[in-house]
Chain A
Amino acid sequence: MIEQPIVLDVAIRNWVVIPILLVLFVVSALKMNFTKIMQIQSDRKQDLQKTMEMQTVARTRKLTAYYNRIPQQGFLMRKAYFTNKETGILTYNEPPQEENNPMDALMQASLMNDSSGMTDMLKGNVVHLIPQISMMTWVNHFFSGFVACKLPFFPLTIRFKSFLQRGIELSSLDVSYVSSLSWYFLCWFGSEGINAILLGENIPSMDQQLFQSQVDQGPPNQQVPIHKVYNSERENIDMIRYESLMDNVEERFLNNLTKKTTITDFSKVSSPSSSSSSSSSVQSKNKVPKRR
């Protein structure tokens, strides 16, 4: 069968293809400015209590990881500070009515977790979703069923049909013809980079993003109520059997020294295979205390 090229009306170009492109550009420009305004307004007040909790968790994690580098007395002091039954700061008073009423607990959890993060997310979603939905309905309503344009250059496989001809259910139509809705999607995905260049989203804002990401560190799961995190950290500290890295540090140091010098001597004199085997055995012996 010989493909006959479909002649597309010039009016389609003038009243469908170009308007969609233009409107998309304008909307994304507006969106960008709108998010900026939103960002300025949502100055996140850092909650004192919350920073403290985050820092406490970070500190306990460091203690559990590197406890063997401080003397036993120091470790016990810290252990008492964190895990003491009455005064330890990890013994968090659990909300009492938790079992009585699950709704209460839920409320409390959401209150504890400071809803500003959620509202920020909501704002971002609103800013992104609303224009998207309204544009899609606009395109769908006014231009449904239009064959907007034809992709040049190369033939495409049949699989692209659903992607490029959304809204047109014609099995005989060549794949390289693009429907108006698909044109909208193509422009939407493709225009982000161009917009970034045209609308001047440049380095300082990247800086800001970096800055924000550095500030917002903390325990990974914000949704977990803090007393649960505290409890698990407390258990972690309680489980530690103290063992110092410094117990026989002198011997280990001297051993490592002699071992290394002998290795260098070996490699000068004998074949590398023998030296490597001997060194690995020594190393494995010596590494055991270091790891713990």
Chain B
Amino acid sequence: MTTELIEYQSYHDQLHKSRSFNWVLVRDLLRFLRKSKFRKSLIVSQYGYKLVDQYFSKLDPQEGWDLLEQVIVCCLDCNQIEKAQTLLNRLVAKFTTNSVRVKRLIGMLYECQGLIQEAINVYQTILQEYPSDSMSMKRQISIYKSQGIHNRAIQLLNTYLQIYMCDFEAWLELASIHINLLSYKSALFCYEEIILNAPINYLFYVKYAEISYSLGGADNFILALKYYTHSLELNSPLDYPEQDHPPTNLPSIYGIIMSIYSFCESSHGGVNKLKDSQVNLMEWAQKQLLDITNQYTPDKKDIVSAFIKLTDIPKKSTTPKDVEQQQPTIEK
């Protein structure tokens, strides 16, 4: 990812350095953006429009039309409807409105103009002809989401996911809608699916733990704790001193402290039901939090230590053996 960023940066610098319009450079940039899927709409709509407007004859014919499509989408992103309209007219003249890709662009233009119903109609006609056109489905879903019609969006996403069930970005979308509607149980299900699809991305474990914590209840606090801990395993706190950026695992550390604290406060939980390892983990997290604060933001130290004091748990009283048996486990 970082190498791609560097590559983009070099393109960006070259563009700004060159005085005259360097069409080869712009073409390469657009090519690169298509491949890396970065969303740099403003720059594309600026330079790309000039490219397809004045240098179209120099482009490879096959690629030229792809470029045209790309520039149109970026113009729509930047609300430059007239530019998009003129370019789209050229596409329509070439491919007529029978082409699915042209139709989709027309739909997007309608969306941009605020003609929602027309846009939906366009997408529906596409879907009648090509029922597996995932792009049109996604556009429809995003329309409903932007309109705030969450029920319909969820419904459509569900049908979409019945077909494309490995598209974890769609699952992410569904999860975010569910979180908006506070239905955390469904969001958890979505995140389980995401974890199955991307099992080594620690961010999703953090997110899963956050949702589980939000659900509340002693069992869910422990579940959250476990997932926070696992995210730390994947994003090890021992690695960061060698990296040149601040640690990225603070959410997990705060999460561990909060979930253990909440577990002790909840009605079914309590300090005595904690495992020894969990208590140790709490101590470690508190220490780690203080260390990080000292290292990176010493001025926030008061706040952090106040937080730790507030969320501190009392010492365990009973012998650990009894506790082990009472321990509420999530796997019943």
By the criterion CB–CB under 8 Å, are A246 and B230 in contact?
yes
Mark out the residues of chain A between 56 and 105 whose CB falls within 8 Å of any chain B CB in the assembled complex. Answer: 56, 58-59, 62-63, 65-67, 69-72, 74, 77-78
Cross-interface CB contact of B132 among A51, A63, A70, A247, cutoff 8 Å: A51
Chain A: which residue is nearest B66 at the CB level? A204
By the criterion CB–CB under 8 Å, are B330 and A72 in contact?
yes
Given A45-B130, A253-B281, A260-B238, CB of A202 within 8 Å of CB of B233 = no
Cross-interface CB contact of A254 among B195, B227, B277, cutoff 8 Å: B277
A261 to B66 Cα, complex, angstroms: 54
Q: Which residues of B contact A70 (CB under 8 A)?
A: 192, 195-196
By the criterion CB–CB under 8 Å, are B230 and A249 in contact?
yes
Query: Residue among B130, B163, B275 with the most chain A CB within 10 A?
Result: B163
Cross-interface CB contact of B166 among A46, A59, A69, A248, cutoff 8 Å: A59
Interface contact tally, CB-CB below 8 A: 100
Q: Which residues of B contact A248 (CB under 8 A)?
A: 277
By the criterion CB–CB under 8 Å, are A62 and B278 in contact?
no
By the criterion CB–CB under 8 Å, are B163 and A250 in contact?
no
**A55 close to chain B: CB less than 8 A:** yes
By the criterion CB–CB under 8 Å, are B60 and A202 in contact?
yes
Number of interface residues of B (CB under 8 A): 40
**B297 close to chain A: CB less than 8 A:** no
Given A247-B331, A248-B277, CB of A52 within 8 Å of CB of B66 = no
**B206 close to chain A: CB less than 8 A:** no
By the criterion CB–CB under 8 Å, are B199 and A69 in contact?
yes
Q: Which residues of A contact B275 (CB under 8 A)?
A: 250-251
Shortest C-beta distance, A62 to chain B (Å), equals 5
Q: Is the interface of A mostly helix, strand, loop or mixed?
A: helix
**B46 close to chain A: CB less than 8 A:** no
Q: Which residues of A contact B278 (CB under 8 A)?
A: 250
Chain B: which residue is nearest A50 at the CB level? B132
A77 to B165 Cα, complex, angstroms: 16
Cross-interface CB contact of B238 among A63, A242, A257, cutoff 8 Å: A257
Cross-interface CB contact of A244 among B166, B195, B237, B331, cutoff 8 Å: B331
By the criterion CB–CB under 8 Å, are A245 and B197 in contact?
no
Given A204-B63, A254-B280, A260-B238, CB of A249 within 8 Å of CB of B196 = no
Task: Bits for B54-95, please: 1 = Cβ < 8 Å to A, else 0.
Answer: 000000101100100000000000000000000000000000
A202 to B238 Cα, complex, angstroms: 47
Q: 4 tightest CB-CB pairs across the interface, nearest first?
A: A246-B226, A251-B277, A204-B63, A250-B277
15 A-B residue pairs with CB within 8 Å: A46-B130, A48-B132, A65-B199, A66-B195, A66-B196, A69-B196, A74-B189, A204-B60, A207-B35, A246-B223, A250-B277, A250-B281, A251-B275, A256-B233, A260-B238
Q: Which residues of B contact A (CB under 8 A)?
A: 31, 35, 60, 62-63, 66, 130-132, 162-166, 188-189, 192, 195-197, 199, 223, 225-227, 229-230, 232-233, 236-238, 275, 277-278, 280-281, 284, 330-331
Q: Which residues of A contact B (CB under 8 A)?
A: 45-48, 51-52, 55-56, 58-59, 62-63, 65-67, 69-72, 74, 77-78, 202-205, 207, 242, 244-254, 256-257, 260-261
